[in-house]
Structure 1
């Protein structure tokens, strides 16, 4: 009986261990399957979801939307309930007849308390509330443009780091293959060639580590190791270094930095109008209902309905100074828009030029590798030459994709795709 019971316990423990091992294996396999799919598209989408800068700017959009809704509430009636207590003390003269015509002071006092409910509805504010709502809506659009600009920078950063990791890995693979071939050769220069390759490998390894951690800082997700980067690099199919004019027009329309400045110009213009509206009267409809203590411990009610108007007359010139300040800010924003448009044009032209040169360099590097002929009895110098030609081609491919990523950033192509 004891042996059977022990066997049953061991059986249950064994089944539990097998079940746990199976669950862990499935979890690791699913995690590995997800991480192994860390191609460029995966990294870009992950960064858009997790990057801290994008998360913060998305919260700014929510805050701006809440502020816009707060301004909308200014149109609504306001209802308030209050309580008050007053103590009145009254001294008044009481004249009485005497031989010298004297008088004395009599004193009276009373407690006055009650509750008051007040309803207020704005009727006319000189357009101030409408202007504030438009201003809040423009601020919301500005927050969205700031978020888009940050997303454009993050996407470009992810592409740069991904391309670097991908091609450093390819360079290391080609270099390690050349190092294996050099070790098979027994000549005087083999040791020197191997040492040079080893130094180059150390530099590439260090660069790979830096770029991997930079990539993970941008994606802000589960750690993506170098071996998990498996997909090829890609750029937009519409890119061409000869289409500078077309891309300049696209950049002027797409770049969120410029959109943000244009929204700021609208906000500054509305702020200018808001300062002008201060000189207009404010008209409010109000209604009050009092439940108050009257004489001899009796309670009475009082109901009022009326219209109030407030007209600013003189404030020491503060409104005029604020108006001039808003005019100066509006002029400053207009100058910033012109400068930013010019800077974007120059950036697009530079990106197109770099892309054309990278495309040309890639074609030349590929032709150089194709024309290379390895002798039948290759020495360590021949293998070194082949390694340099191979690395030159990989370097040309890397520069080509980096130039394409920069052109995408300059034009703002990726913003609407992720």
Structure 2
């Protein structure tokens, strides 16, 4: 059996085309992912948040280091103290304070025991850093997913545009055949009018899908940071997904689960920090400076220094500690419930994406088989009409069946690509790419 050029091109597209074109297409998609990752403002802000949390973590560690502070003091007393007494032998003695009092000093202090407040603050800061890293990874995965969906949507619209162009050519060829038959007196002019109406509908459909393609490409340009009017290159067709794609395995631990776990750690550290307020606090300090009046009632600046240890022991807080602890325990329970919800939701997303991908691949095979049969049916109907064996309506129906089969194939391949992207996102496989 002799195959028509259209059917031969279709078979080459389905079999050889994806194998040849897939590396170039994958490289385009990878390129657009990288462009979007470099352009996205939310991702840039998330990266800055990581750096900010890292700085706060270093600041929390600095609380273990001794602190040095300096200060000054200046006072004027309108009525200074005055003391008079009568001493034996010596006689009357009068001591009078000065109006002016001033000085400068420096204090060096070192916390010795804070009840776990400093270590809890450090662990809290570390948890915040890990949370910001998980949020960054979540945004990155979400952005890659959006790029994949938008890219495959644009490719699908371009393929639909090719389908519309092919249908327009087929209707134009049929119109030429009918016109020749009308001129030869072999059929009524009504058949020509019917085909001309179909020709106009095919043009209308082509204009519509072309507009959809251009708007989709503008949306893709907006994601990757290109000018909206740029003619960003995309693949001409949707490649088929290889078998076993639904068995993809992603990262060991999804960032959303890590984020939920870090929320639990953060609440536990918050509990430790809160408990530290109700434990003894001990610090050692040294103070030195120059003061006037100095010791022994010296009028000028005189050096002096002090060493001291300060201990603070909370005794009674009216039940405040107990209430705050219970509130913190409730927050820990809420975070644990959130972790369980996230695990359940991710498991559902993975299973749903795998099932949907498997079903979409089955639809691709079925749609490809139907398309091959629709092409053969269209070819036979056109030949029989040229021989006068069937009516024009049967040929038009055959063309519509073929166009519907092509649209179904494009829709099935698009669904498979989108479900594959959903699986990559649910398994955090984008991090491995």
| CA deviation profile, 1:71-130 (whole Å, cap 9, x unmatched) | 11111111111110123434568699xxxxxxxx99854321110011111111111101
Which stretches in structure 1 are left out of the alignment for 5+ residues? Answer: 1-35, 97-104
TM-score (norm 1): 0.80
| Greater shift in the superposed pair: 168-177 or 309-318 | 309-318
Work out whether 1:144 is the aligned partner of 2:118.
Answer: no
TM-score (norm 2): 0.77
| CA deviation profile, 1:377-408 (whole Å, cap 9, x unmatched) | 36444333322222222222211111111111
2:256 corresponding residue in structure 1: 257
Q: Kindly indicate whether the alpha-carbon contact (under 8 Å) linking 2:240 and 2:413 is maintained by their aligned counterparts in 1.
A: no
1:280 corresponding residue in structure 2: 279
Q: Map 1:185-200; keep pairs closer than 5 Å.
A: 185=175, 186=178, 187-200=192-205
Alpha-carbon separation, structure 1, partners of 2:364 and 2:242: 17
- Count of matched residue pairs: 368
Cα distance, 1:360–1:145 mapped onto 2, change above 3 Å: same
2:408 corresponding residue in structure 1: 392
1:87 corresponding residue in structure 2: 76
* SS of equivalent residue, structure 1 residue 42: helix
| CA deviation profile, 1:176-197 (whole Å, cap 9, x unmatched) | 1221331231434322322332
1:8 corresponding residue in structure 2: none
2:398 corresponding residue in structure 1: 382
| Greater shift in the superposed pair: 168-177 or 305-314 | 305-314
| CA deviation profile, 1:338-370 (whole Å, cap 9, x unmatched) | 111111111111111110110100000111122
Work out whether 1:213 is the aligned partner of 2:218.
Answer: yes
Cα distance, 1:257–1:331 mapped onto 2, change above 3 Å: same
Q: Map 1:99-248; keep pairs closer than 5 Å.
A: 109-184=98-173, 185=175, 186=178, 187-223=192-228, 225-226=230-231, 228-230=233-235, 239-241=244-246, 243=247
Q: Kindly indicate whether the alpha-carbon contact (under 8 Å) linking 2:221 and 2:232 is maintained by their aligned counterparts in 1.
A: no
Alpha-carbon separation, structure 1, partners of 2:327 and 2:211: 53
2:11 corresponding residue in structure 1: none
* SS of equivalent residue, structure 1 residue 228: coil
1:322 corresponding residue in structure 2: 324
Cα distance, 1:74–1:412 mapped onto 2, change above 3 Å: same
2:290 corresponding residue in structure 1: 291
Alpha-carbon separation, structure 2, partners of 1:227 and 1:274: 54
Alpha-carbon separation, structure 2, partners of 1:352 and 1:338: 21
Cα distance, 1:183–1:324 mapped onto 2, change above 3 Å: same
Alpha-carbon separation, structure 1, partners of 2:62 and 2:369: 69
Which stretches in structure 2 are left out of the alignment for 5+ residues? Answer: 1-24, 87-93, 179-191, 386-394
Q: Kindly indicate whether the alpha-carbon contact (under 8 Å) linking 2:350 and 2:426 is maintained by their aligned counterparts in 1.
A: yes
| Greater shift in the superposed pair: 126-135 or 87-96 | 87-96
Alpha-carbon separation, structure 2, partners of 1:198 and 1:163: 24
Q: Map 1:2-17; keep pairs closer than 5 Å.
A: none
| CA deviation profile, 1:204-247 (whole Å, cap 9, x unmatched) | 23432332232223223455745522387679978544x4xx85
Cα distance, 1:57–1:180 mapped onto 2, change above 3 Å: same
Deviation of 1:337 after TM superposition, in Å, equals 0.8
Alpha-carbon separation, structure 2, partners of 1:233 and 1:282: 68
Q: Kindly indicate whether the alpha-carbon contact (under 8 Å) linking 2:33 and 2:147 is maintained by their aligned counterparts in 1.
A: yes
Cα distance, 1:234–1:262 mapped onto 2, change above 3 Å: farther
Deviation of 1:315 after TM superposition, in Å, equals 3.5
Q: Kindly indicate whether the alpha-carbon contact (under 8 Å) linking 1:115 and 1:292 is maintained by their aligned counterparts in 2.
A: yes
Match among 407, 414, 422 for residue 406 of structure 1 = 422
Cα distance, 1:350–1:215 mapped onto 2, change above 3 Å: same
Alpha-carbon separation, structure 1, partners of 2:358 and 2:223: 28
1:27 corresponding residue in structure 2: none
Alpha-carbon separation, structure 1, partners of 2:285 and 2:238: 67
Q: Kindly indicate whether the alpha-carbon contact (under 8 Å) linking 1:126 and 1:282 is maintained by their aligned counterparts in 2.
A: yes
Alpha-carbon separation, structure 2, partners of 1:238 and 1:309: 70
RMSD: 2.8
* SS of equivalent residue, structure 1 residue 314: coil
Alpha-carbon separation, structure 2, partners of 1:92 and 1:297: 15
